[in-house]
Amino acid sequence: MPDQPDRALQDLFQELILDHYRRPRNKGALEPHTHRIGLTNPSCGDELELDLVISGDTIADVRFSGRGCSISQASASMMTQLIKGKSVHEARALAARFNEMMHGSAEAARDKTLGEARSLVGVAKFPVRVKCALLGWNALEEGTKNSH
């Protein structure tokens, strides 16, 4: 099949990522919520709003809304699955780990605590797309910076 797109692209748009893009988990607004963080990427127009219910030290519930590319939407969807029920501290540690993976850390990419979000490892090969993958995680870090 000489006409197949190359491997890096196939990794980037693999089935699991497209599945989260087309069937995002925890999508929609969360009412009531304790935290709402809206982030936009003015260079590309992507918008994301993250709603959190933080009870004590725990992220009791989380949802996101907005629109954007497959990478930003899938990454946010995977993140919500990962952080629901975790402590704020744990969630922030995951965000830091995910950031490391996006900046090429092979060790972070092997870290099973990142769950399905590890499928986004291929984004690191597309530097202009890293900001897409980080949009949801940046919202999480922004929203919890005073809660831990």
Partner 1 sequence: MSPRLRDVRADFPILRQPSNGHRLVYLDSAATSQKPQAVIDAISAYYGGLNANVHRGGYDLAVRATDAYEEARASLAAFIGAPDPSGVIFVRGTTEGINLIASSLGALKLKRGDTIVVTAMEHHSNLIPWQLVAQARGAETVMVELTADGRIDLADFRRALERSPRIVAFTHVSNTLGTINPVAELVRLAHDAGAVAVVDGAQSAPHVPVDVKALDCDFYVLSGHKMLAPMGIGAVVGKPELLDAMPPYHGGGEMINVVKDTTATYAPLPQKFEAGTPNVEGAIALGAAIAYLRGLGMETVAAHERELVGHALEKLAAIEGMTIYGPMDERAGVISFTLADIHPHDLATILDHEGVAIRAGHHCTQPLMRRLNVSATARASFYVYNTEEDVDALVAALQKALTLFGLAHA
Interface with partner 1 (CB under 8 A), residue from 16, 53, 69, 93: 69
- Dihedral of the CA atoms 64, 67, 70, 72 (nearest 10)? -50
Nearer to partner 1, 9 or 29 (CB): 9
Query: Could you tell me the smallest distance in angstroms from the CB atom of residue 61 to partner 1?
Result: 26
Measured CA to CA, the distance from residue 106 to residue 101 in angstroms comes to 7
Given a contact cutoff of 8 angstroms between Cβ atoms, the answer to whether 33 and 51 are in contact is yes
Dihedrals phi, psi of 27, to nearest 5 degrees = -95, 140
Q: Name which of residues 24 to 53 contact partner 1 (CB under 8 A).
A: 43-47
Choose which of 67, 89, 110, 145 interacts with partner 1 (CB under 8 A). Answer: 67
CA atoms within 13 A on the CB side of 43: 5
Binding of partner 1 by 4 (CB under 8 A): yes
**Cα–Cα dist 100/123, whole Å:** 12
Residue 5 Cβ vs partner 1, minimum distance, rounded to whole Å: 5
Cβ closest to partner 1, residue 85 vs residue 127? 127
105 CB contacts (<8 Å, ≥6 apart)?
Answer: none
Nearest distance, CB of residue 42 and partner 1, angstroms: 9
Q: Does 3 bind partner 1 (CB under 8 A)?
A: yes
Binding stretches for partner 1 (CB under 8 A): 3-6, 8-10, 12-13, 15, 18, 22, 43-47, 67-71, 126, 128-129, 132
